[in-house]
Amino acid sequence: MGTIVIRSAEIVDSTSELNGKIRSILIENGIIKKISDKELSADTVIEAKGMKVSLGWMDMRVTTGDPGHEYKEDLNSACNAAMQGGFTAIAVLPNTTPPMQSKESVEYVKGKTREKLVDVYPIAALTLNNKGEELTEILDMNASGAIAFSDGVKPIWHSDLLLRALLYMQPINAQLIVHAEDKYLSHGGQMNEGKTSTMLGLKGIPKLSEQIMVDRDLSILEYTGGKIHFAHISSPKSLELIKEAKKKGLNVTCDIASYQLALDDTMLSSFDSNLKVNPPLRSKRDIDVFWKYINDGTVDVIVSDHIPQDTECKQLEFDQADFGMIGLETMFSVVNTYNTKIELAKIIEKITVAPRAVLNINVPQLKEGAKANLTVFDTEKEWILSAADLRSKSVNTPFIGKKMKGRAVAVINNNQLTYVR
């Protein structure tokens, strides 16, 4: 690849003494050779004056259709979408066909992505066929490289199975990731239960559906020990429960989807099925609370919750359309556009250090002698998302045609450089 210089970028890394400093970074053979306040030269120069550089971003909640539904998204297109969004690492969920529930399926993901710029980490199925009835071969998949276990977009409804999983996973220090949803309370629901759902005549999904499962899971965690990560939390009460559990010393973490920080349930009056997600978009008042819990550290990680769906799954009557939106290409831009209160370094920490810490992955370092795993980005660039910007195979996003502020410029990892176009 030759030598690369990122010239005159502001370093954004809350773990580094260089945080907030403007520096040039020389990279040779994939290694950071020099960080200097002087102008450096190289074969390739990224003129980054007025821009930022951070550790490479990670999204720990990505769904692909590989194997089984590659027409929606395969591992290659997911990596391309990740680079377009500024990510150098993603963790992929087990909700494929068949599910990722054997050591062979874990090795398939690792083998297919081994030479990529983007590091791809498999999250394996906790239960057979994600049905929540019988545990998978956790030890075998962990030995093959599964970094966490989850039923992905499906809840762990069986409380005794959850208890046994927490006990079983403790000796290998494995991370359990749960989608908190009581399917009996949410059954048939299309959107947030509230004034708008009543006006539109759509069955609502109450926050209670999430809260009751968070409360149950925390009670079981307190009983068993171990650790739980709650995915895409969408209820202020859930976050309050998690905050209290952290104060009690329980090993609990959580994330929130970027779109929950920008979109609210009143927008569904358009019946745009790209806004149909699970958990659903909540109220404007809830969004303010979400930002508060990001700022105080209750929310550990921000994710895209990338769920590609083809047009046949989305261009239907609203109640027939599938849940999910893509988000890899827009995640940072959405957060940056709608953030008015939180310092940038704290946001970046939640998409760099925090997801890797939750998943027990080595965190890159921005220092001389370290492997270059970096994202260059411009927080001030204003742009309008078009379908041509997307590298995903699917286009199910409500942000097409929307003006946004901030986007990635380039990503560097595994001795490879890609510019975001």
The pLDDT tens digits for 139-182 are 999 999 999 999 999 999 999 999 999 999 999 999 999 999 99
Is the model's pTM score more than 0.75? yes
Same domain, 315 and 394: no
Question: Which of 358, 382, 401 corresponds to the end of one domain?
Answer: 358
| For residues 107-119, average pLDDT | 97
Same domain, 45 and 70: no
At residue 307 the predicted structure's pLDDT band, cuts being 50, 70 and 90, is very high
Residue 340 confidence (pLDDT): 87
b/e per residue 39-61 (b: at least 16 CB within 10 A): ebebeeebebeebbbbbbbbbbb
Integer angstrom CA distances of residue 200 from 40, 266, 323:
59, 10, 18
At a CB cut-off of 8 Å and minimum separation 6, what does 122 contact?
91, 92, 94, 100, 105, 106, 109, 110, 145, 146, 147
Instruction: List the beta bridge partners of residue 382.
Output: 405
Is position 71 within any domain? yes
At a CB cut-off of 8 Å and minimum separation 6, what does 234 contact?
207, 210, 256, 257, 260, 279, 280, 282, 286
Is position 106 within any domain? yes
What is the domain extent for residue 254? 56-358
Query: Burial of 330 by CB count in 10 Å (0-12 exposed, 13-18 middle, 19+ buried)?
Result: buried
At residue 421 the predicted structure's pLDDT band, cuts being 50, 70 and 90, is confident
| Number of structural domains in the chain | 2
End-to-end CA distance of the chain: 19
Query: Each residue of 230-276: pLDDT tens digit?
Result: 999 999 999 999 999 999 999 999 999 999 999 999 999 999 999 99
Q: Could you tell me how far CA 119 lies from the centroid of its own chain? A: 14
Same domain, 326 and 391: no
Alpha helices in 229-268 (DSSP H): 236-247
Same domain, 395 and 319: no
Query: Each residue of 371-410: pLDDT tens digit?
Result: 999 999 999 999 999 999 999 999 999 999 999 999 999 9
Q: Tell me what the pLDDT averaged over the chain comes to.
A: 97
Residue 232 CA to residue 260 CA, distance in Å, equals 9
Q: What is the CA radius of gyration of the chain?
A: 21
* Share above pLDDT 90 across residues of the chain, in percent, rounded to a whole number: 98
Same domain, 117 and 243: yes
Question: Which of 308, 331, 358 corresponds to the end of one domain?
Answer: 358
Same domain, 42 and 84: no
Tokens 């650790």 belong to which residue? 227
Same domain, 147 and 70: yes
Beta-sheet strands, E only, within 201-282: 204-205, 228-230, 252-257
Residues marked as catalytic: 305
Residue 341 confidence (pLDDT): 87
Closest Cα partner for 98 from 108, 90, 89? 108
Same domain, 276 and 192: yes
| For residues 85-103, average pLDDT | 98
Residue 344 confidence (pLDDT): 97
Same domain, 245 and 148: yes
At residue 290 the predicted structure's pLDDT band, cuts being 50, 70 and 90, is very high
Contacts of residues 114-118 at CB distance under 8 Å and 24 or more positions apart, as own/partner, are 115/414, 116/79, 116/414, 117/79, 117/83, 117/88, 117/411, 117/412, 117/413, 117/414, 117/416, 117/417, 117/418, 118/79, 118/82, 118/83, 118/87, 118/88, 118/89, 118/90, 118/413
More confident site: 58 or 15: 58
Orientation of helix 103-112 relative to helix 75-84, angle to 10°: 50
Is position 80 within any domain? yes
Residue 1 confidence (pLDDT): 72
